[in-house]
Structure 1
Amino acid sequence: MSNVIVNRVAEFLKRFPPFSFLGDGDLTRVAQSVAVHYLEQGEILFRQGEAARPHFFILREGIIHLVETSQKGEEIREVCDEGDVFGVLALLGKRPYLLTSKVIENSLIYAIPVAVFEKILEENSRVALFFAAGFAAGQVVVRQDLSQGQKARSELKKASGDHPLLIFSDQSAVNFSEKVLNCPPETSIQNAAKMMAEAQVSSIVICDSQDFPLGILTDKDLRSRVLASEISPQNPVSQVMTRPVITRKKQDGFSNLYLTMIRHRLHHLVLTEDGTDQSPVCGIISDHDVFLSMGNSPAVLIHGLMNTQEVGEMRKIRDRAEQMLCYYLENEVSMEFVASVMTEINDVIIRQALEISKTQLKAQYPEMNSTRFCFLSMGSEGREEQLLRTDLDNAILYEDVAEGLQSKATEYFLKLGEGVVEVLLACGFDPCPGKIMASNPEWVQPLSVWKNYFSDWILHPSPEALMKVSIFFDFRFVAGSNALAAELSDHIYQEIGKKQIFLNFLAQNAMKNPPPLGFFRDFVVEKSGENRDQFDIKLRAMLPLTDLARLLVLSHQIVGINNTFQRFEKLAELESSNSELYSQAGKAYEILMRMRALEGLQNKNNGRYINPKSLGKLQRQLLKNAFAPISELQEIVNIRFQLDYFRR
């Protein structure tokens, strides 16, 4: 490959993790080994079930879908974008491809030989941990972010230095068990299982008389090799143990140990004194130990949440997510990325809570198992802006059922919602003071009732209706049937189209928020109550921006954008004459979100009330600058919706 092409490849690769973690020498060697492939629309790069090639791939340009084929047909599992790394199992497992790669648009890909990269994996712990975090999260495409949003992804592409996805508590220290349950090879399977049960462990190491490991037996082996194969439990454990046993030294670094487990698909790794099976066993490491060692990586936190339905464990993981949030905020990681990660964590908790609740109700309500429903998040979580565990705002929408099933459906979905809310409260979220939660029968309704709710709020915009609009208009599908949420959205926009004057009422309501600064440009603080002399950052600064962004986006009939700074970004695109103002408003909102979250983390509360006297000069000025777009936006709204005339 000519030097010009090598340099171009290296420049491209350096923009993306894990290649951005490489030194110039390693990067050049990788670039020199790359094979460039041009694929036309409709071509297949590799097929599900095919033996893995000696390369993995990074998409240079174009679009590739990774598709899973099953009895139900084809399902798109991933959409690869520029910079995404895929086909990575060839790098570690050398197993058949799990998915088929279809070229959707003419694409250019770089194929990177596994042989070239394996040495880098062994020597560069940051690269190793990047892949490890991706696999811990169950990713088939290793990319820079955990959300599917293009914005979080593009933000990361600009980032340099440490990758924010990877935050580990201590990369050199790995938790492992020094007391290893073991038995000789002639022990019966039944006795080995009893020993495991009594010790409350999920594995037993089979050793010879010198304590050298001969094999290992796990819970999974007992299920698949003994029970499923109907082998007598009186047979010796040596007949069903996994052999030869894979071993490592306990002094090996974190990435070496974890990548060994990934490469060999191990849930347990035996540690010996010299790292071989010809020395005594001195420890064992499980995938749970790895999870604890990897600390506060979002990939690992999400992996942990997805693999537990123990509410206490979910609470602990959400607590750890708050430590990660603090790190992100203090290191000024992109707010859009931070919000995407925290939203994903919150969403996984909700989905797990739903599974827990559904499992509990399944036997009692078998007729409801096939009824479509949708769990909706609203308010700040609906806008993907809930960084702290503040008030819950959620609801359940389900399809209209036959009249004879309505009472059962009402009972079932309310119990389902109560179960979810109970788990969320146990995970540290606060209840909604206005009881706008899926445990309130008013907000657990069939589609027809939800349509009537919104029609009534739009056609009769009373002050109470407009208050509900500010919460419910920001609903977001989290789990269940997205089609139901989409149908409700379509209904809302049809109703607004019939009564455009509704937007004038909404505009009038958006102007009611009190100003953040007084006549002498001092913070307007609370005059009485427990928050006296405190500044309400939510009511006086954040709420005006969320209300104004929602109103202006609705006036353009934009569907599917709930996030406040994304709304301002879209408005900047739509209205070139005001693009600078909208961009400033979006940035201002990010600053306010960051300040509120930091305040909440510091004081262990929701961060809503800030003591202006506790702010430094720079913080005070930054906060005041963030208020600047509010009055200009209000002026635009006042003129656009003719509010001076409308109030007469």
Structure 2
Amino acid sequence: MANVIVNRVQEFLKRFPPFSFLNQADLELVASQVEIQFLAESEILFRKNEVARPHFYILKEGQIGLYDHDELKDFCDEGDVFGVLALLGKRPYIYEAKIEKDSLVYSIPVAVFEEILDKNSKVALYFAAGFASGQVVIRQDLSTGQKARGVLKKENLDHSLLIFSDPSQIQFSEKVIQILPSATVQEAAQKMASASVSSIVVCQPDQIPLGIITDKDLRNKVVAQALPLDSSVEGVMTTPVITKKKGAGFSDLYLSMIKNRLHHLILTEDGSPNSPICGILSDHDVLLSMGNSPAVLIHALLNTEEISEMKSIRDRAETMLSYYLENEVAMDFVASVLTEINDVIIQQAVKIAQNALADQFPELKSLRFAFLCLGSEGREEQLLRTDLDNALLYEDPPQGLEAKAKDYFLQLGNKVIEALVACGFLPCPGEIMTSNPKWNQPLSRWKKHFTDWIYTPTPDAVLSASIFFDFRPVAGHTSLAEDLSLHIYDTIQKKKDFLSFLGQNAILTPPPLGFFKDLVVEKTQEHRDQFDIKTRAMLPLIDLARLLTLSYGVVGINNTFKRFEKLGELEPRNAELFTQAGKAYEILMRMRALEGLKHQNNGRYIRPENMGKLQRQLLKSTFAPIAELQELVRVRFQLDLLRA
């Protein structure tokens, strides 16, 4: 009979972390030492400030509330671990454990578990991340939580992923073929041929890099232009060179190559171009290290104007995204790579539209414009092909060309949207797109829009401002967008009480936990009992980050992570809160993207019952920074007075 009970205990324990991380022998040992307690409704298992007992607990059946005096702090349900202060820190209990319904509790002796805690890093990280109820770490450090989740994954990371955390895995050439600036083009070509390399670095005698010559330079600058072979390499080389430190992290090195469209990146001793060269990294090296490279996708996009091929490449990017997310690659890297790919698709779509309209509108060829991305793409956070949010801004046309310019840019906007939808992006349900005449306007009209929104902050105006404050120029002339940005910030400085209306909007959605610490789910039929991760968790953080950076007049930072990072610099006393908020947003982005990839949708609505226990705990842990930031905003912008 005893063996039957132990087996049942064991079967139950292995369903839940941290017991699910134990090997069979350790699990059997723990199960054999478990004491089973029946507790009736209204009983107290332990009280606040009581000396911790030599056991911690896991709830088998029933429901237990954790209270700080009379305030409910957490609810424990089936599989929840609690009362772990005996295991961690051996301090008095910080909560009172009250039985809300008749309950069956497994008591686990600390003595049998301490040795496991020492030797099992997964178990240690589970507790360190703050996943157990009522433990020493009241407020979970979200960065530790992310680390724990990564370590606790069942899958083993393969060799190709190691490069994201270990730059030593990147194979690059330390023997760099060099030539003096006084040499000729022919000498450079002979050296390249002799060494069977596709590039040569032009260096001073002290090995300070001045420029680089590639096969493409020889083809385009020498052969195509019939330059004499005795021409100096200084006249052919690409200069100045972009350099990085040899020991820089892979994300830093690789993103430099992607953003600057480099096939070769020069590595120097201190990372500056005034330091001796010590290596060179090629996109071929990256391919050999990774097996798959965003640079390849971007290169392919830049060399096609076929919409069907662009869609195929973006489909491949989705596969790459899935791999990155499943293997816990840093979100800032993932978001940067996907943003770069999305931006190139948009730029190619704009180029295709311009070429199609060039003969019809020759007089408007020189009229400047900027294609603005809004929403998640404007913030450099669009991982999935979710709704398109964009606008078109063009300089005020010469007198007499206003109607023609309006027609041209509306046709341009329509063609771009058609191309993006054909690439798999979804049209905006609210029609906030360049195909809508309302959001395809000259600079003077855009300035008037923002002035009206700021000076007359009706609910619709505040909503519009929230959407359009995240604009980012992706194609065309960035100077137009900069002009509009400066106008916006100047106007806000003259009408600072507008920020209070934005503040009201930022606190409308409270942290999404009900009275019993359950996720607040939708009540409407279409998404009934589903959790809206966008509206209830992500948007509050987006709105709060935007509001606070606007209040400082920070120009040019739209990304939510970077906004929180900048706020940490501006307010050192609140730096920890902003760091936690950034980490929370990162977790939410990853969860939504994984949900979207799994169900081939936008990932917005999640069924809580389909989430693992660890996922639910991690999701709930992201709500704490929302509550703290909303309280900070409520006080700072005197929002209670505004409502009164």
Residue 286 (structure 2) pairs with residue 139 (structure 1) = no
Find the residue that maps to 1:522 and give its secondary structure. coil
- Give the partner amino acid of 1:21: I
Residue 360 (structure 2) pairs with residue 364 (structure 1) = yes
**2:313 maps to which residue?**
317
527, 530, 535: which one aligns with 1:534:
530
Identity %: 59
- Confirm or deny: 8 A CA contact 2:510 2:627 kept in the other structure: no
- Confirm or deny: 8 A CA contact 1:523 1:535 kept in the other structure: yes
Question: How far apart are 1:101 and its partner, in Å?
Answer: 3.0
Q: Deviations over 1:487-539 (max 9, x none)?
A: 00000000000000000111011111243111111100001221100000000
Residue 611 (structure 2) pairs with residue 615 (structure 1) = yes
Find the aligned partners of 2:527 and 2:369 in 1 and give their Cα distance. 41
Residue 335 (structure 2) pairs with residue 339 (structure 1) = yes
- Give the partner amino acid of 2:535: L
Q: How many residues align?
A: 435
Report matched runs for 1:205-604 at 5 Å: 296-604=292-600
Find the residue that maps to 1:323 and give its secondary structure. helix
**1:637 maps to which residue?**
633
Residue 239 (structure 2) pairs with residue 101 (structure 1) = yes
- Confirm or deny: 8 A CA contact 1:447 1:488 kept in the other structure: yes
- Confirm or deny: 8 A CA contact 2:169 2:289 kept in the other structure: no
**1:267 maps to which residue?**
none
Q: 1:367 to 1:563 in 2, by over 3 A?
A: same
Find the aligned partners of 2:621 and 2:361 in 1 and give their Cα distance. 55
- Give the partner amino acid of 1:101: T
- Give the partner amino acid of 2:599: N
Q: 1:515 to 1:18 in 2, by over 3 A?
A: closer
Question: How far apart are 1:470 and its partner, in Å?
Answer: 1.4
Residue 170 (structure 2) pairs with residue 21 (structure 1) = yes
- Give the partner amino acid of 1:580: E
Report matched runs for 1:16-165 at 5 Å: 20-22=169-171, 52=188, 98-102=236-240, 139-142=262-265
- Confirm or deny: 8 A CA contact 1:48 1:100 kept in the other structure: no
- Give the partner amino acid of 1:621: Q
For structure 1, the 5+ residue unaligned runs are: 1-13, 38-43, 68-85, 111-126, 145-161, 169-295
Question: How far apart are 1:88 and its partner, in Å?
Answer: 6.4
Find the residue that maps to 2:474 and give its secondary structure. strand
Find the aligned partners of 2:395 and 2:455 in 1 and give their Cα distance. 24
Find the residue that maps to 1:408 and give its secondary structure. helix
Find the aligned partners of 2:481 and 2:184 in 1 and give their Cα distance. 33
Find the residue that maps to 1:396 and give its secondary structure. strand
Find the residue that maps to 1:403 and give its secondary structure. coil
Find the aligned partners of 1:569 and 1:640 in 2 and give their Cα distance. 19
Find the aligned partners of 1:396 and 1:308 in 2 and give their Cα distance. 24
- Give the partner amino acid of 1:354: V
Find the aligned partners of 1:549 and 1:361 in 2 and give their Cα distance. 40
Q: 1:92 to 1:433 in 2, by over 3 A?
A: same
Find the residue that maps to 1:397 and give its secondary structure. strand
Question: How far apart are 1:313 and its partner, in Å?
Answer: 0.9
Question: How far apart are 1:403 and its partner, in Å?
Answer: 2.4
- Give the partner amino acid of 1:139: L
Find the aligned partners of 1:564 and 1:479 in 2 and give their Cα distance. 22
- Give the partner amino acid of 1:505: F
Question: How far apart are 1:165 and its partner, in Å?
Answer: 9.9
Find the residue that maps to 2:457 and give its secondary structure. coil
Question: How far apart are 1:551 and its partner, in Å?
Answer: 0.2
- Confirm or deny: 8 A CA contact 1:49 1:99 kept in the other structure: no
Find the residue that maps to 1:445 and give its secondary structure. strand
- Give the partner amino acid of 2:464: K
Q: 1:458 to 1:91 in 2, by over 3 A?
A: closer
Question: How far apart are 1:425 and its partner, in Å?
Answer: 0.5
Find the aligned partners of 2:260 and 2:244 in 1 and give their Cα distance. 27
Q: 1:635 to 1:423 in 2, by over 3 A?
A: same
Q: 1:529 to 1:396 in 2, by over 3 A?
A: same
- Give the partner amino acid of 2:518: D
Question: How far apart are 1:139 and its partner, in Å?
Answer: 1.9
Find the residue that maps to 1:374 and give its secondary structure. strand
Q: 1:51 to 1:338 in 2, by over 3 A?
A: farther
Q: 1:15 to 1:333 in 2, by over 3 A?
A: closer
Find the aligned partners of 2:164 and 2:529 in 1 and give their Cα distance. 48
- Give the partner amino acid of 2:319: Q
- Give the partner amino acid of 2:265: V
- Confirm or deny: 8 A CA contact 1:373 1:481 kept in the other structure: yes
Find the aligned partners of 2:544 and 2:373 in 1 and give their Cα distance. 20
Q: 1:460 to 1:45 in 2, by over 3 A?
A: farther
Question: How far apart are 1:17 and its partner, in Å?
Answer: 9.3
Question: How far apart are 1:297 and its partner, in Å?
Answer: 2.1
Q: 1:479 to 1:17 in 2, by over 3 A?
A: farther
- Confirm or deny: 8 A CA contact 2:410 2:435 kept in the other structure: yes
Find the aligned partners of 1:338 and 1:309 in 2 and give their Cα distance. 25
Find the aligned partners of 2:395 and 2:186 in 1 and give their Cα distance. 41
Q: Deviations over 1:250-296 (max 9, x none)?
A: xxxxxxxxxxxxxxxxxxxxxxxxxxxxxxxxxxxxxxxxxxxxxx5
Q: 1:499 to 1:46 in 2, by over 3 A?
A: farther
- Confirm or deny: 8 A CA contact 1:165 1:298 kept in the other structure: no
- Confirm or deny: 8 A CA contact 1:561 1:567 kept in the other structure: yes
Q: 1:479 to 1:47 in 2, by over 3 A?
A: farther
For structure 2, the 5+ residue unaligned runs are: 1-162, 193-198, 223-232, 268-284
Find the aligned partners of 2:546 and 2:164 in 1 and give their Cα distance. 35
Find the aligned partners of 2:244 and 2:430 in 1 and give their Cα distance. 53
Find the aligned partners of 2:185 and 2:178 in 1 and give their Cα distance. 24
Q: 1:555 to 1:399 in 2, by over 3 A?
A: same
Find the residue that maps to 1:309 and give its secondary structure. coil
Q: 1:163 to 1:537 in 2, by over 3 A?
A: farther
Find the residue that maps to 2:473 and give its secondary structure. strand
Find the aligned partners of 1:406 and 1:556 in 2 and give their Cα distance. 37
